Structure 1
Amino acid sequence: MTHLQITSAPEPTLASPTYLEFAPCEALQPYVECYWIMESENSRPVRDKFLPSPYVEMVFINKGGAYLVHEEDRFEALPASGVFGLQQQSLNVRVQGSFSALGVKFRPEGFYQLMQIQMSTLANRVVSLRKLIGEKSQDITEQLLNTSSPYRQLEAIELFLLDELASRPRPEHLPYLQRAIRKVMETGGNVTVTELADAAAVSERQMERKFMERIGLSPKKFIRNVRITQVFKLLKQKPNYDWLDVIYRCNYFDQAHFTRDFKALTGETPTTYFSRRSFLRSAFQERAVRA
């Protein structure tokens, strides 16, 4: 991951397709996992599925149209600047040819800590930034429109987030919740809700209430998202991984359990899903292995 340090040196040329990540400044590292840039010069529209992940993302579309595809091929235009809450099912996305976007991938509790929004209200939704923060969204949008450099745009986004950090007091610190989140992430989802609650000396109900408030999903569903991300990590590290080994290492009971979970998330079996290749799929796998 590259640190976002803008100098007078010439900016690198972004070959197409490209996915790059940049580390945040020290003050934002407790909240932001990374910034990213994605560019593609496709001659035709690309359609693919993005699996649920453990990260809320703030996305700014610079060029091209992007749409959510619903049942019966109904299209919903994604906002030019919006926030993707945690999802319980895959998102069907269609990108119209040449496309450029940049964004912020937040740590699991990071968006709540910065914006202090009830995260369950964002679950399974993509919400425009304007709806979330009102007129303040206009300032960052105008700044992004006034520069064509994605690196300068990321600088502007970082300054915007620093301003948000300074504009409100921090919410109550919950060490037990942060330990629980860290345990889920470090184990790749190989932990139960009961184990998390017992380690924190709180009830499962209390743990679930705080997960819903600050993460957006119940602990059980958050664990499932982390576990499917772990599957992508293993497959990226070893493309010829034995499926049974992946299933075992990701704590699925058996192949049927894995296939059932995977199909619930994507509507497809793993074999069908991984048989298709696209730029969007490749970029997502790159993101998964860095998670």
Structure 2
Amino acid sequence: MDLEYFQPSDILKPYVKHYYLFVSAEDTEFEDTVFPSGDMEMIFNLGDGVWEASLGEKYVRTPKIELWGQVTQPLAIRSKGKHVMLGVKFFTHSAAYFLNDEIGVFNDLVSDLADILGGPIKMLYAQLLEAKDITKRIDLIETFLIKKLISSEKRSFKIDKVGDILSSLKQKPGETSLDRIATTHGITPRYLHKLIYQNTGLSPTAFNKILRFQYSLKLIAKNDQPFTSIAYESGYFDQSHFIRDFKLFTGITPSAYMDNLTPVNQLLFQ
């Protein structure tokens, strides 16, 4: 399995964290679990392989053009066959620029983007299948995204506001008072919560928790310090709070996670 990352053009850097290409040339089967990341993704499945995501007690085949909503709990997936996946990873708030729906409706779901965006995204998918060169494929995606960005100009003020708020939360991850956060940005706590949820699918508290959790994953991957140190460095009050949140987002303890790194997780931290 190979995973490559590609940076967006300057015009899309405020909206797209990166593009990635995942290629699995071996006809193998494996199961994995996706953890909350705080970001949404658009994925084009250009190979013949099959992906399935858990929905309740059953698995459902994912569409050729996927929209990954906010994952707020462990989401089991499984794979069969050879894959070519071209993905677009957005920042926490920036998927809202390209979608007309309230973002929370997509939480913990892998939706069919063709049902949401219709003919234009279907045409893009057909063009991606024809274009074999990765540079050409990314150019096609960027042209599509820029057109969508221009059409969302009327909504951009509110989404920009959310981006500013999230940036300030990242700088002060220990800040939990909605009153203080709201006052800083000149809005009420109720409107702050509504604004962030509508445009990210997360509450301010959930965003902070996922932020700390993701940072802890990076520290765990280095495997060079005890869990107590990781907990404090990630912004937790103590190790017990760290383990509680880790189990909430992964379904397992940090120790069990280290003992069971999956193929996709190993690629992510290379």
Instruction: Tell me if TM exceeds 0.5.
Output: yes
CA drift at 1:35: 0.9
Gaps of 5+ in 2: none
Among 219, 225, 249, the alignment partner of 1:265 is: 249
Is residue 158 of structure 1 aligned with residue 162 of structure 2? no
Cα 1:176–1:159 shift into 2, 3 Å: closer
Greater CA deviation, 147-156 or 103-112? Answer: 147-156
Q: Secondary structure at the match of 2:84?
A: strand
Counterpart-to-counterpart distance in 1, 2:186 and 2:149: 31
Counterpart-to-counterpart distance in 1, 2:61 and 2:244: 30
Alignment of 1:1-40 (within 5 A): 17-40=1-24
CA drift at 1:172: 4.7
**Alignment match, 1:240:** 224
Among 181, 187, 196, the alignment partner of 2:166 is: 181
Counterpart-to-counterpart distance in 2, 1:176 and 1:144: 33
Counterpart-to-counterpart distance in 1, 2:168 and 2:256: 32
CA drift at 1:229: 1.0
- Quote the RMSD (CA, aligned, Å): 2.0
* 1:234-260 alpha-carbon deviations (Å, 9 max, x no partner): 234x32222111100112122221111
Among 245, 262, 269, the alignment partner of 1:278 is: 262
TM-score w.r.t. the length of structure 2 is 0.90
CA drift at 1:143: 0.5
Cα 1:156–1:137 shift into 2, 3 Å: same
The residue identity in structure 1 corresponding to 2:60 is E
Asked if the contact 1:50/1:284 (under 8 Å) is kept, the reply is no
* 1:24-64 alpha-carbon deviations (Å, 9 max, x no partner): 11221221111111112344212111110111100111221
Q: Secondary structure at the match of 2:46?
A: strand
Identity over aligned residues, as a percent?
25
Asked if the contact 1:193/1:204 (under 8 Å) is kept, the reply is no
**Alignment match, 2:240:** 256
Counterpart-to-counterpart distance in 1, 2:168 and 2:6: 25
* 1:255-287 alpha-carbon deviations (Å, 9 max, x no partner): 22111111112221221122113321113335x
Counterpart-to-counterpart distance in 1, 2:226 and 2:184: 33
- Give the ranges of 4+ consecutive aligned residues of structure 1 lying more than 4 Å apart after TM superposition: none
Asked if the contact 1:140/1:157 (under 8 Å) is kept, the reply is yes
Q: Secondary structure at the match of 1:102?
A: strand
Among 51, 57, 75, the alignment partner of 1:66 is: 51
Counterpart-to-counterpart distance in 2, 1:129 and 1:53: 20
Asked if the contact 2:66/2:111 (under 8 Å) is kept, the reply is yes
Asked if the contact 2:53/2:110 (under 8 Å) is kept, the reply is no
**Alignment match, 2:155:** 171
TM-score w.r.t. the length of structure 1 is 0.84
CA drift at 1:122: 1.5
Counterpart-to-counterpart distance in 2, 1:48 and 1:164: 32
**Alignment match, 1:226:** 211
Counterpart-to-counterpart distance in 2, 1:269 and 1:234: 15
**Alignment match, 1:289:** none
